Every structure is written in structure tokens, then in C-alpha cells.
């Protein structure tokens, strides 16, 4: 236990309480400043510290005296304690020795009891083995096959099976070293019984004796020979029929579909009795009634699956041995047809299995796995991949040709081929459900390949506006059609798969749409650039307007220059040719982009001309001022024009008229009110007319 730590309380007369010395952040400077703040001088602080020092000294002396007194008392109380400890240790050692002796004696008796129990157990085991051996010997000694079996009569077989089951049970209970003496004999009896039972079973099937078949199946079950019964049925009943039916000649004569139909017809005609007796549904077996004790003697016999373990192995064996060419991928369409017929046959076969448990056993059977593995889907997909992907790669050599117009929503061959390839991936005559993941991957590869190609369009320098516009149209169609194609074609084929995740499919499609949406940016920009260049080239003729009016005595302009109509003609042609092909948003983006670039350049040209006119005008004015006379006013203003309408004002007026006509022509195409460059042109025309008015008024 920790003792409380503290200092003795100082007298009340001093200037500090003593608690300051216990503070963790105690410093001399802080302590002195606190005492000074209480009004104590350094001399008083010294005297108070001396008083408190004496208090601490006296307290320490009292503490030492108290501790020494307690030490003396403890020392006196411990006199003779070592003697008592030695005496107690001796007593404890004596008790420990006695305990060891007792444990030794008890251990001897326990070992003796254990040996006697083991001996008793051995004797009981030998006695039990002797009793079992006596029973086994008695059963074997009295076993008369000729009399017991009565040929192939079921009563004798039932009695014999009971005896064999009893012998097997007894042999399983005796020691293995002893059981070996009789195992050979019991095996011989069991094989003989199995042979007789097999003959009775086949005879009952041929004679269509349902009750005898049920008894034989129960005998097989009691002997644990269910698989032997199924193997016998497979070899003697199924193989004979299948070996005659599944042949190259029959396949050529009937075709694969009719061959599968004949196989399915065999099941109800030749296997009906065993299937009714071994199927819960066919036999009317009700497990609920069995638990209630009702209908205990049900005709249903447990532990058999003749379709999965008897009929199907025979079918697989005959297919592999006799008509293995069916599995080969000699032709894509033939293989697809054969495999599709096979899948439908398997579905119908699974329906005959009736229960999910029987279907699972069929799927797990090695013959079923072997049969499906014979269909080389990998080679089939490789051929499909080569055909589909090769078609797209071949088209990339000439992507801008026109596709056949019949019911084709695309304008360029590359996108028409892409859509053909996508459709082929999921076409009913090509797509196979086990290859769904591969065809889905191929779909994404086709989209990605086309998107990658589209990102290289900027490397092609000879693309015309017409081709670029067709690209924009087809890009938009692809983006729109991918989503609907996924919903109407892809998802219905994939939703039946247990591992299908719709969100993953949607994310992949969205990513492909985004790639094509990004790719359409280049052809749009290229269209805008080319159209803008065609529009800007005539606008450059505005530079020649001063030459038309300066010193030519030409009349005041009243209509626009010819270059204005020429400059907007590319836009009119584009709008007329492609506005119905492109959606309204695309057309608006392209037209707006062209108008922005053309107007921006037109503003620069106008400003250059106006600046040149202004400089010329200022130069003439300076010359006039230096000479102090009129500077050939007649050369500036013709006789039939107002003196204010100088050549320079004619130039300004012509530019204003051209700008207004240019904007009017653009307005006939789209609304230009929100285009900043057009607003700047309007302002430029307005300012030009205002400048003319100002000059006129000044004169």
C-alpha cells in the first residue's frame, strides 16, 4: 500500500502555505514572484523560510523516532520465529512422505485392477467371437445351394440373401484374423447368389413382371449390390439397344435429332418398370407418410439411379466408339446445330430424371463429364473468333466505304461491320450458352477495337466533311444502339446463368458508350475546322474593299459584297445535306462552332480594315494641316455625293452592310443571339455606322 506523501503545514503567520513545493512545475522564480504579490519582502520571505525549515526539521526527527520504535517492536516479536518455521517444515515433510507411500500402494492396486479388467475384456471378446463363429459355422454348414436357391425361384433367393446378409454382418463383428477363415467361402456364396439373382432380375424384366423386379431390386439392396444391378441392366438391356441404334448408318439415315428422339423413346418403352420402382415420383412414394408409419411397404426401392448410372453410360460409350465424328468441329454451323440438339436432348433426359438429386448424380457421373468434354468448344470458339474478328479487321483496311443500303442504319462500312460482328456473337445459330463468357469478352473486344481505331482518326489527313459527318452519325447510332442491344439481345441470354451480375454488364456497356462518345469529339472538331476554313476564305476579300472605293468615285454602297453570300454557302450546303441525318444537338454544335470561328476571324478582318482606313484618314488630315489648304477634296468626294460621304466613309458603310448581311444569313440557319462573336459583329456594325454619323455631323 502506498503511504500518503505530504509536508507538515507551516504556521499561519508566514507568507506561503507549503503546497507550492509539491507542485510539479515548481520554480524558484515563480515562488518568489507569488510571495511578492502577497506583499512579502525578501527579508520576510527569508525569515519565513527559516521558520518553515525548523518545522520540517522537527517533523523529520519525529518521523525517524517513530520508525525506530516500530522497528524495535518488530524485532522483538520475531525472536524464535525461525524455530517455529523449522518445526512446521518437519511436520509438512512427514505428511508428504505418508502421501507418497499411500499413492504408491493405491497405484499397485489400480494396476492390478486394470490388468484384471483387460483380461476380462479379452475373455468377453473371445467369447463373443466364439459365439459369432459358431453361428457362422452353423450357417455355412447348413447352406445348401441346390435346395436353397431352387434354381432361380425368388423365395429361395430371398432366404439365401437373408443368410448371406447375416453372414456378412457376423463376419464384420468378429476379429479380422478369425474372419479371414470364412471370408473366401462367404464371397463364393455371395457371387453365386448374385449370379442367380441377376438371372432372375433379367428374366423378370423380359417377362415384364413388375412385382418380381421390385423383389429383385430389394434383394440387391439388402446385399448392398445396387451398383451391380445397374451395371447388369446397362450391359444386358441398354447396351444391346444402343449398339444397334447409335451407328454411322443410323445417324446418316435419321439425322442426329431423330437419333436423340429414338434414344428418348427407348427409356419409357424398355426402362419403365425399373424407373417406376426406383423413382419417388413415379412410384407415388411419400416420405411424410413413411414417417407417420403409413404405407411402410411402399413399392419405391431406395438407392438406384438407372438413368444416370445405367442408361447414360451406355449412350456415351456408343457415341464415342461409333459416331465420334459428331464431336468434331469440321464446320462451324454443323457443330453448332449438333451441339444445340445435344443440349436439348440433355434437357429432355434430365426431365426424365425427375428429381434434383438424380440430376446432380447425372452431372457428377464420369460418363456425363466425358461426353461433354468430347465437344471441343474451344476449337469452335476459335473458329468463330477468327471469322468474326477477322471480318472486322478486314473492314478496317477500307473503313469509309458505303455499306449495302438494305435496312442498314449505318452510313460507313466499319460500323455496319461492327454491328454485324456483334449480332453474330449473339446470333442463335452461333451463340452457345457454355461459351457465353467468351462471346461476352469478344463483344467487348470488338467494341474496344473499334473505339481504339476511332482514336486514330486524327492521323488521317484526307477526311472530307462528308466522311466526317457520316462518322458523327454512326458514332451516335452506336452509342444509342449498344444499350438497347444489350437489353434486348445480350441480357436475355445471360440471365439464366447463376453467376450473372447485371451491374457488371451495365458498367462494361457504359464504359464502351463513353469511349465512343469521347471518340466523336474529333470528327466534330474536324468538321467545324474545315467548314470554318471554307467560310473564312471568302471573308478575307473584305481586305480589298478599300481598294474598291478609294479614289474611284464609286457610288455610295447600298448592298452587300458578293463575298458575303459565298462565305455562308458552305454552311448552307452542310445544313441542307446533313441536318436531317444528324440529331439536332449535333447539328447545333457544329453550326455554332463554325459560326464562332468564322465570326471571330471576320471581326479581326473588319478591325484590320477599319484600322487601315483610320490611319489613311489621319494621314491625309495631317497633310492637310501642314499645307493649310484642301487636300484634293474632289479626289475624296465625287461631285454627285454629299461632301460628308468620303471614300473612307463609303468603306465603313460597305463593311457595316456586309456585317449585317452576314449576320442575317446566319440567322436563317440557327439562332445566333447567344453567340458572343456574333454579338461582337453586331456591335462592330453599330459602331461603324455611329462613326459615320459622327463624321457627318462634324462636317
**Cα dist from 611 to 160, 235, 618, 629, 677, whole Å:** 126, 108, 10, 26, 19
Grid coordinates given for 583:
440529331
Instruction: Give the pLDDT mean for 185-206.
Output: 78
Per-residue pLDDT tens for 349-389?
999 998 899 999 999 999 999 999 999 999 999 999 999 99
Distance CA 556, CA 540 (A): 22
Per-residue pLDDT tens for 224-259?
888 999 999 999 999 999 999 999 999 999 999 999
Grid coordinates given for 184:
473366401
Instruction: Give the pLDDT mean for 507-513.
Output: 92
Residues across the chain = 699
pLDDT of residue 557: 87
Per-residue pLDDT tens for 580-625?
888 888 899 999 999 999 999 999 999 999 999 889 888 888 887 8
Three-state SS letters, 415-471: HHHHHHHHHHHCCCCCCCHHHHHHHHHHHHHHHHHHHHHHCCHHHCCCCCHHHHHHH
Per-residue pLDDT tens for 276-308?
888 766 544 444 433 333 333 456 788 899 999
pLDDT of residue 645: 74
Instruction: Give the pLDDT mean for 421-448.
Output: 94
Residue 273 and residue 205 in contact, taking contact as beta carbons nearer than 8 Å: yes
**Cα dist from 548 to 109, 602, 688, whole Å:** 141, 19, 18
**Poorest-pLDDT segment among 5-9, 61-65, 133-137:** 133-137
Residue 531 and residue 463 in contact, taking contact as beta carbons nearer than 8 Å: no
Q: How much of the chain exceeds pLDDT 70, in percent?
A: 85
Q: What is the C-alpha R_g of the chain?
A: 55
- Per the listing, cell 473366401 goes with 184
Which of 76-90, 153-167, 239-253: highest mean pLDDT?
239-253
Give the DSSP per-residue string, 225-285: -HHHHHHHHIIIIIHHHHHHHSSHHHHHHH-HHHHHHHHHHHHHHHSHHHHHHH-HHHHT-
> For the domain 538-698, what is the CATH code?
1.20.1050
Q: How many helices (H) and strands (E) does the chain have?
A: 32, 0
458 pLDDT exceeds 60?
yes
pLDDT of residue 150: 47
531 pLDDT exceeds 60?
yes
179 pLDDT exceeds 70?
no
Considering only residues 151 and 415, tell me which one the structure prediction assigns the higher pLDDT. Answer: 415
State the Cα angle at 198 between 192 and 199, rounded to 5°: 95
Give the DSSP per-residue string, 622-646: HHHHHHTS---HHHHS-TTS-TT--
Distance CA 513, CA 475 (A): 9
Instruction: Give the pLDDT mean for 64-74.
Output: 84
Per-residue pLDDT tens for 620-669?
888 878 776 444 444 444 444 455 578 888 999 999 999 999 999 999 98
207 pLDDT exceeds 80?
yes
Three-state DSSP state, 385: helix
Mean pLDDT of the chain: 84
Considering only residues 696 and 640, tell me which one the structure prediction assigns the higher pLDDT. Answer: 696
Q: How much of the chain exceeds pLDDT 90, in percent?
A: 44
Distance CA 494, CA 426 (A): 10
Distance CA 616, CA 446 (A): 65
Per-residue pLDDT tens for 123-143?
887 777 666 666 666 666 666
Grid coordinates given for 144:
445348401
Distance CA 363, CA 386 (A): 32
Instruction: Give the pLDDT mean for 431-453.
Output: 94
Distance CA 159, CA 110 (A): 51
User: For residues 129-168, b (16+ Cβ closer than 10 Å) or e, as one string?
Assistant: beebbebbeebeeebeeeebbeebebebbbebbebbeebe
Amino acid at each position: 500500500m502506498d503511504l500518503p506523501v505530504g509536508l507538515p503545514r507551516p504556521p499561519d503567520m508566514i507568507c506561503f502555505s507549503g503546497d507550492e513545493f509539491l507542485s510539479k512545475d515548481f520554480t524558484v522564480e515563480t515562488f518568489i514572484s507569488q510571495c511578492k504579490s502577497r506583499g512579502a519582502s525578501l527579508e520576510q520571505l527569508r525569515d519565513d523560510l527559516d521558520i518553515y525549515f525548523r518545522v520540517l526539521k522537527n517533523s523529520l526527527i519525529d518521523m525517524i523516532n517513530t520508525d525506530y520504535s516500530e522497528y524495535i517492536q518488530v524485532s522483538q516479536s520475531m525472536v524464535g520465529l525461525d524455530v517455529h518455521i523449522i518445526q512446521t517444515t518437519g511436520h509438512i515433510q512427514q505428511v508428504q512422505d505418508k502421501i507418497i507411500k499411500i499413492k504408491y500402494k493405491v497405484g499397485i492396486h489400480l494396476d492390478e485392477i486394470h490388468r484384471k479388467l483387460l483380461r476380462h475384456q479379452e475373455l468377453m471378446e473371445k467369447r463373443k467371437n466364439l459365439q459369432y463363429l459358431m453361428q457362422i459355422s452353423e450357417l455355412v454348414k447348413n447352406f445348401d445351394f441346390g435346395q436353397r436357391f431352387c434354381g432361380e425361384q425368388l423365395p429361395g433367393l430371398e432366404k439365401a440373401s437373408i443368410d448371406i446378409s447375416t453372414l456378412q454382418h457376423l463376419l464384420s463383428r468378429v476379429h479380422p484374423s478369425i474372419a479371414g477363415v470364412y471370408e473366401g467361402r462367404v464371397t463364393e456364396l455371395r457371387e453365386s447368389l448374385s449370379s442367380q439373382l441377376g438371372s432372375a432380375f433379367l428374366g423378370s424384366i423380359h417377362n415384364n413382371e413388375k412385382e418380381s423386379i421390385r423383389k429383385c431390386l430389394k434383394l440387391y439392396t439388402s446385399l448392398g449390390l445396387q451398383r451391380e444391378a445397374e451395371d447388369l441392366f446397362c450391359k444386358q438391356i441398354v447396351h444391346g439397344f444402343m449398339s444397334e441404334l447409335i451407328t454411322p448408318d443410323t445417324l446418316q439415315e435419321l439425322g442426329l435429332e431423330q437419333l436423340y428422339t429414338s434414344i428418348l423413346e427407348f427409356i419409357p418403352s424398355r426402362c419403365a418398370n425399373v424407373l417406376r420402382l426406383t423413382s419417388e415420383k413415379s412410384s407415388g412414394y411419400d416420405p411424410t407418410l413413411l414417417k407417420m408409419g403409413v404405407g411402410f411397404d411402399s413399392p419405391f426401392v431406395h438407392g438406384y439411379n438407372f438413368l444416370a448410372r445405367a442408361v447414360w453410360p451406355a449412350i456415351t460409350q456408343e457415341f464415342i466408339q461409333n459416331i465420334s465424328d459428331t464431336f468434331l468441329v469440321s464446320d462451324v454451323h454443323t457443330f453448332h446445330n449438333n451441339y444445340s440438339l445435344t443440349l436439348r436432348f440433355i434437357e429432355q433426359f434430365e426431365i426424365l430424371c425427375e428429381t434434383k438429386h438424380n440430376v446432380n448424380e447425372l452431372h457428377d457421373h464420369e460418363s456425363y463429364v466425358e461426353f461433354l468434354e468430347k465437344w471441343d468448344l474451344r476449337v469452335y470458339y476459335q473458329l468463330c473468333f477468327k471469322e468474326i474478328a477477322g471480318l472486322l479487321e478486314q473492314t478496317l483496311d477500307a473503313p469509309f466505304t458505303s455499306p449495302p443500303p438494305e435496312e442498314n442504319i449505318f452510313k460507313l462500312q466499319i460500323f455496319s461491320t461492327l454491328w454485324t460482328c456483334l449480332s453474330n456473337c449473339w446470333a442463335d445459330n452461333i451463340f452457345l450458352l457454355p461459351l457465353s463468357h467468351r462471346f461476352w469478352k469478344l463483344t467487348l473486344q470488338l467494341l474496344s477495337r473499334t473505339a481504339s481505331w476511332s482514336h486514330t482518326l486524327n492521323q488521317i489527313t484526307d477526311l472530307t466533311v462528308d466522311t466526317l459527318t457520316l462518322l458523327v452519325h454512326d458514332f451516335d447510332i452506336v452509342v444509342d444502339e449498344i444499350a438497347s442491344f444489350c437489353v434486348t439481345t445480350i441480357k436475355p441470354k445471360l440471365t439464366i446463368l447463376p453467376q450473372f451480375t447485371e451491374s457488371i454488364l451495365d458498367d462494361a456497356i457504359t464504359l464502351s458508350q463513353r469511349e465512343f462518345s469521347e471518340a466523336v469529339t474529333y470528327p466534330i472538331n474536324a468538321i467545324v475546322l474545315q467548314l470554318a476554313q471554307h467560310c473564312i476564305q471568302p471573308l478575307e476579300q473584305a481586305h480589298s474593299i478599300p481598294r474598291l472605293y478609294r479614289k474611284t468615285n464609286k457610288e455610295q454602297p447600298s448592298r452587300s459584297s458578293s463575298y458575303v453570300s459565298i462565305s455562308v454557302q458552305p454552311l448552307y450546303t452542310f445544313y441542307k445535306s446533313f441536318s436531317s441525318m444528324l440529331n439536332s444537338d449535333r447539328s447545333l454544335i457544329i453550326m455554332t462552332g463554325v459560326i464562332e470561328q468564322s465570326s471571330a476571324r471576320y471581326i479581326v478582318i473588319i478591325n484590320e480594315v477599319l484600322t487601315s482606313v483610320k490611319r489613311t484618314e489621319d494621314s491625309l488630315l495631317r497633310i492637310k494641316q501642314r499645307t493649310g489648304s484642301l487636300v484634293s477634296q474632289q479626289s475624296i468626294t465625287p461631285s454627285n455625293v454629299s461632301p460628308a460621304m468620303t471614300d473612307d466613309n463609303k468603306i465603313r458603310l460597305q463593311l457595316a452592310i456586309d456585317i449585317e448581311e452576314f449576320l442575317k444569313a446566319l440567322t436563317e440557319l440557327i439562332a445566333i443571339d447567344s453567340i458572343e462573336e456574333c454579338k461582337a459583329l453586331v456591335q462592330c456594325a453599330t459602331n461603324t455606322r455611329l462613326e459615320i454619323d459622327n463624321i457627318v455631323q462634324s462636317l
